[in-house]
Amino acid sequence: MHAWIKRLLLPLCMLMAVSSQAWSADDLKSWNDGPNKKSITDFVERVTKDGSADFIPVPERVAVFDNDGTLWAEQPLYFQLFFALDRVKVMAPDHPEWKTQEPFASLLKGDVKGALSGGEKAIMEIVMATHSGMSSDEFDAIVRDWVKTAKHPKSGKHYTEMVYQPMVELLGYLRANGFKTYIVSGGGIDFMRPWTEEIYGVPPEQVVGSSGKIAFEMLDGKGVIMRIPEINFIDDKAGKPVGIHQHIGRRPVMAFGNSDGDLQMLQWTCTRQGPSFCAYVHHTDAKREWAYDRNSSIGRLAKGLDEAKARSWTLIDMKEDWSKVFAYE
C-alpha cells in the first residue's frame, strides 16, 4: 500500500473507531446506575458477544418501541389528538355544519371535555375528519408544520421536545450494537413518519402504526396517494404483533412499552425461542412528568404491570432510573 494511501486512511480509521464507541453503555448518561440499566446492558453485551451461547446474529437484532408514553409523553391527551383538535379549528371555516354538529360544536366552543365525552366514537369522528380528504404529501406537510409550531399546554414546549432523553440514548446505544430499531405504535403511521427520523433516528420505513385507507389517483397528470376517511388498521393491543409481522417480518428480540396496549407486543417478543428482553416504562415521577398506571384513562398499565412482575420483565422506574427525563431540563 502506498504511503500516501496509508496517511489518508489512518485518520478515517481512527474516526471510525471513535464513531463505533460513540454509544457505549457509559453513554447512557441520563440513566442512573442500577439493576434496570444493568439488565439492559447485560442483555446487549450477552447477545452481541461472538462465541456467547446467547449470541444473536445482526439481521435478527430487532428492537421495537411503543411511542406514546414510551418515547415521548402522552398526558393529558395523546399528542396526535391535540393535533386533531388544532386541525378542527383550522378547518372550521370550511365546515359551517360543525357549528351544530357534535363533537365539533363542543370543540369550537372550547369544551374539549364535552366533545370527548362521546368516547372512542367521537375521537374517531374527529380523527377521520382531520386526517383525510387530502393527499399523503399534503398531510405530511401539515404534520411537519404543526410539530414546528404547536406547544404542549402544560410545559409550553414543542411536542417534539417532550421526548424522553434516556430513551433517545437507548435507541442510539442499541443501533451502535447492531440492532435495528422500530417504532410500533397505536398512533397514526403517517402522523409519526414525518418527524421520527429527525427526533429518534428512526426512518419512516421503520415506523409501524395505525392507518386509514388510502388510494392511488392521477391528478393533473401526477400520481398521488389520497387519504380516505375509513379505518384500515389499528396497531394496538393484539394488533401490534400483527403489524410487526406484516411490516417487519421478524419476531423482535427486544420490546419496550408503557401500557396495557403494549402487552401483546411484549408477550410475542418474550415467548420467542432464544434470548429476549422486555421492559415497561413505569410512570412514577409526578414532579418531572406524570405518575400514573392502573387507574389512568391515558396509558393505563394494569394487566401489563402484573404480567411484568410475574414474568420478571424489567420495570423502568422513571423517578429512580432516569437522572433526566427531557433534554431541556
Range of weakest confidence among 17-21, 49-53, 92-96, 316-320: 17-21
Asked if residue 114 has pLDDT above 50, the reply is yes
pLDDT-derived band at 23, boundaries 50, 70, 90: low
Q: Which sequence spans correspond to the domains of the chain?
A: 22-77+159-321, 79-149
Asked if residue 17 has pLDDT above 60, the reply is no
pLDDT at 5: 45
pLDDT, tens only, 65-80: 999 999 999 999 999 9
3-class DSSP assignment, residue 284? strand
Q: What is the mean pLDDT of the chain?
A: 93
pLDDT, tens only, 282-298: 999 999 999 999 999 99
pLDDT at 27: 86
pLDDT-derived band at 24, boundaries 50, 70, 90: low
pLDDT at 167: 98
Mean pLDDT across 202-213:
98
**What secondary structure, in 3-state letters, does 121-164 show?**
HHHHHHHHHHHCCCEHHHHHHHHHHHHHHCECCCCCCEHHHCEE
- For the domain 22-77+159-321, what is the CATH code? 3.40.50.1000
Q: What is the CA radius of gyration of the chain?
A: 22
Strands 254-257 and 222-233: unpaired
pLDDT, tens only, 230-260: 999 999 999 999 999 999 999 999 999 999 9
Residues present in the chain in total: 329
pLDDT at 13: 44
The torsion of the CA quartet 140, 144, 145, 149, rounded to 10 degrees, works out to 150
**This prediction's pTM:** 0.92
Asked if residue 107 has pLDDT above 50, the reply is yes
pLDDT at 21: 41
pLDDT-derived band at 8, boundaries 50, 70, 90: very low
Q: What are phi and psi of 316, to 5 degrees?
A: -75, 110
Q: Measure the CA–CA gap between 246 and 237, rounded to whole angstroms.
A: 15
Q: Among residues 318, 319, 314, 289, which one has the least CA distance to residue 304?
A: 314
Asked if residue 50 has pLDDT above 80, the reply is yes
pLDDT at 238: 98
Asked if residue 309 has pLDDT above 80, the reply is yes
Asked if residue 1 has pLDDT above 90, the reply is no
pLDDT at 140: 98
pLDDT, tens only, 122-177: 999 999 999 999 999 999 999 999 999 999 999 999 999 999 999 999 999 999 99
pLDDT at 211: 98
